[in-house]
Amino acid sequence: MTKDPGPELNKFLVRYNHPLKLRWDFLILIFSIWNCFSLPVDIAFNPLIFDTLGNIVFNHMIDICFAFDILFHFRTTITDDSTGTEITDPKQIAIKYIKNKFLIDLIATIPFDSLFSDLTTREVTG
């Protein structure tokens, strides 16, 4: 007996329950938890260890991963809430993502700490 693979996929789509997609989501979760702890500590105490090249590169890599995650959401199948069937049409996937989570993901991806670092590090000259 063979397992039904479901509807035919566009070659650039990934199933929402694919093992690699689940690992990617776990990585994004770990990066989100890191940001939840590191950003408040950095803002409140500005420890020198956060100014090292390694930490700066790591944080930029996290920002890049979050941006890629937005792109991946446009190419990941979803399930229809009412029927439970898998939606594989890229246009329907994009419309649903834009209507629901896109704005939140976009705002969360913008590296405000890098954009506004000039404002917080300027010294008052008199």
DSSP code string of 78-92: EE-TTT-PEE--HHH
Would residue 9 count as lying in a domain?
no
Q: How many distinct structural domains can be found in the chain?
A: 1
pLDDT band at 119 (very low <50, low <70, confident <90, very high): low
Would residue 52 count as lying in a domain?
yes
Would residue 106 count as lying in a domain?
yes
pLDDT digits (tens, 9 = 90+) for 48-83: 999 999 999 999 999 999 999 999 999 999 999 999
Sequence-ordered list of residues with C-beta below 8 angstroms from that of 86, at least 6 positions apart, any chain: 6, 7, 15, 16, 77, 78, 79, 80
Query: What number of CA atoms fall less than 13 Å from residue 67's CA on the CB side?
Result: 8
Would residue 8 count as lying in a domain?
no
Would residue 59 count as lying in a domain?
yes
pLDDT digits (tens, 9 = 90+) for 13-39: 999 999 999 999 999 999 999 999 998
Query: What number of CA atoms fall less than 13 Å from residue 111's CA on the CB side?
Result: 15
Burial (0-12, 13-18, 19+ Cβ within 10 Å), 124: exposed
- Domain extent at residue 82: 19-121
pTM here is 0.83
